[in-house]
Amino acid sequence: MTGIWAIVIPAFVKILVIIAVVMTGVAYTTLAERKVSAWMQDRKGPNRAGPFGLLQPVADGIKFFFKEDITPKEAYRPIYLLAPLLTLFPALITFAVIPFGTSVTVAGQTYPLAIAPGMNLGIVYLLAISSMSVYGILLAGWSSGSKYSLMGALRGASQVISYELGIGLAVLSIVLWTGTFDFNAIVADQTGGWGKVWFFIPHFLAFVVFTVSIFAETNRLPFDLPEGESEIVGGYHTEYSGLRFAMFFMGEYANMITASAFVVLLFFGGWNLPFVRYEWFGPLWGGLLSMVVFFSKIAVCLFIFIWVRWTLPRFRYDQLMTLGWRRLFPLAVLNFVLVATWLLLRGRP
Amino acid sequence: MITIGHYLVLASFLFVVGLIGALTRKSAIIVFLAIELMLNSVNLVFLALGRYFGQLDGAVFVFFIMAVSAAEAAIGVAITVAFIRRNKTTAIDAANLMKW
Amino acid sequence: MTFAVVFFAVAFLAFIGALTLVFHRHPVIAVLGMAAATVSIGVLYVMLHVPFLGLFQMIVYAGAVMVIALYVIMALGPEESGPQVGTVQTVLTYLASLLFLLHLYRVLIKSEIGPMPAVDEAFGSIQAFGGALVSRYAVPFELASLLLLGAMVGAVVLSRRQWQ
Amino acid sequence: MKVTRPKLSWWERTYFPAILKGLAITLSHIPKIKKRVTLEYPEVRWALPPQYRGAPILLTGLDGNEKCTSCKLCEFICPPRAIRIVAEETSLEKEKRPKEFDIDMGLCIFCGYCQEVCPVEAIWLKDEYEMADYDRTNLIFNKEQLLARGRKPPYLPGREKPLEEPK
Q: Does C27 touch chain B (CB under 8 A)?
A: yes
Average pLDDT over residues A192-212: 80
Cβ count within 10 A of residue C159: 15
Q: What is the pLDDT of residues D62-113, one digit of tens each?
A: 777 788 888 888 888 989 988 888 888 888 877 888 888 888 888 889 888 8
Domain housing D71: 56-163
pLDDT band at A17; cut points 50, 70, 90 = confident
Q: Which of A271-285, A324-338, D45-59 has the lowest mean pLDDT?
A: A271-285
Interface residue of B47, B64, B68, B75 to substitute, partner C, most C CBs within 10 Å:
B47
**Cα–Cα distance measured from residue A96 to residue A121, given in angstroms and rounded to the nearest whole number:** 12
**pLDDT tens for residues B53-88?**
878 888 888 888 888 888 888 888 888 777 777 777
Question: Is B95 part of the contact surface with chain C (CB cutoff 8 Å)?
Answer: no
Predicted local confidence at residue C164, as pLDDT: 45
- How far apart are alpha carbons D28 and D36 in whole angstroms? 13
d(CA A144, CA A82): 11
Per the prediction, chain A carries an average pLDDT of: 82
Q: Do A38 and D32 touch (CB under 8 A)?
A: no
pLDDT at B69: 86
Q: Which candidate, A30, A203, A227, places its Cα nearest to that of A211?
A: A203
CATH of residue D77:
3.30.70.3270
Mutate to test the interface with C, among B6, B12, B17, B68 (most CBs of C within 10 A): B17
CA distance A225 to A231: 9
Would you call B20 and C108 a contact, using CB atoms and an 8 Å cutoff? Answer: no
pLDDT score recorded for residue D163: 42
pLDDT confidence of residue A205:
86
Quote the pLDDT of residue C86: 72
Closest alpha carbon to B36 in A137, A79, C30: C30
A128·C63 Cβ contact <8 A: yes
Cβ count near B78 (within 10 Å): 20
For chain C, which residues make up each domain, given as ranges?
1-83, 125-164
Nearest-angstrom CA–CA distance, A325 and A213: 11
> Residue D143 domain-assigned?
yes
Taking alpha carbons only, the member of A84, A86, A79 closest to residue A133 is A86
pLDDT of residue D126: 79
For residue D148, pLDDT beyond 80:
no
pLDDT for C111: 80
pLDDT tens-digit readout, A305-322: 889 888 888 888 888 888
Total domains, chain D: 1
Q: Counting one residue from A and one from D, how many pairs have CB atoms under 8 Å apart?
A: 35
In a domain, D140, yes or no: yes
Reported as a single tens digit per residue, the pLDDT across A280-293 is 777 777 778 888 88
pLDDT tens digit sequence for D6-42: 888 888 777 788 888 888 888 888 887 777 888 877 7
- Asked if D29's CB is within 8 angstroms of A40's CB, the reply is yes
A198 interfaces chain C, CB cutoff of 8 Å: no
Instruction: Please report residues of A whose CB lies closer than 8 A to that of C6.
Output: none
How confident is the model at residue D151, as a pLDDT?
64
Arithmetic mean of pLDDT, A34-40: 88
Distance from C50 to chain B by nearest Cα, in Å? 8
Is residue D164's pLDDT more than 60?
Answer: no
Q: How confident is the model at residue D147 (pLDDT cuts 50, 70, 90)?
A: confident
More confident residue, A119 or B35: B35
Identity of the residue in C56, C62, C68 whose CB atom sits nearest the CB atom of A132: C62
Pairs of residues, one from chain B and one from chain C, whose beta carbons lie less than 8 Å apart: 234
For chain A, give the percent of residues with pLDDT over 70. Answer: 94
**pLDDT at A349 exceeding the cut of 70:** no
Judged by a CB distance cut-off of 8 A, whether residue C16 touches chain B is no
Q: How far apart are CA C38 and CA C64, in angstroms?
A: 11
Contact C32 A125 (CB under 8 A): no
- Burial, D54: exposed, middle or buried (Cβ in 10 Å; 0-12, 13-18, 19+)? middle
- Residue D127 located in a structural domain: yes
The residue extents of the domains of chain A are 5-346
At the topology level, CATH places domain C1-83 in Four Helix Bundle (Hemerythrin (Met), subunit A) (1.20.120)
What distance in Å separates the CA atoms of residue A280 and residue A100, rounded to the nearest whole number? 19
Instruction: For residue C135, give the nearest of D137, A39, B56, A276 by alpha carbon.
Output: B56
Tell me the C-alpha distance between B83 and B74, whole Å.
Answer: 14
C163, pLDDT greater than 70: no
**pLDDT confidence tier of residue A3, bands split at 50, 70 and 90:** low
Q: List the single residue in C34, C44, C104 with the smallest CB-CB distance to B33.
A: C34
Assess whether pLDDT exceeds 50 at residue B19. Answer: yes
C24-42: pLDDT as tens digits: 888 888 888 898 899 899 8
Looking at the complex, does the CB of residue B49 fall below 8 Å from at least one CB of chain C? no
ipTM: 0.75
A277 touches chain D (CB under 8 A): no
Which residue type occupies A298? I
Closest CA to D141 of D116, D108, D114, D115: D108
- Is residue D5 in a domain? no
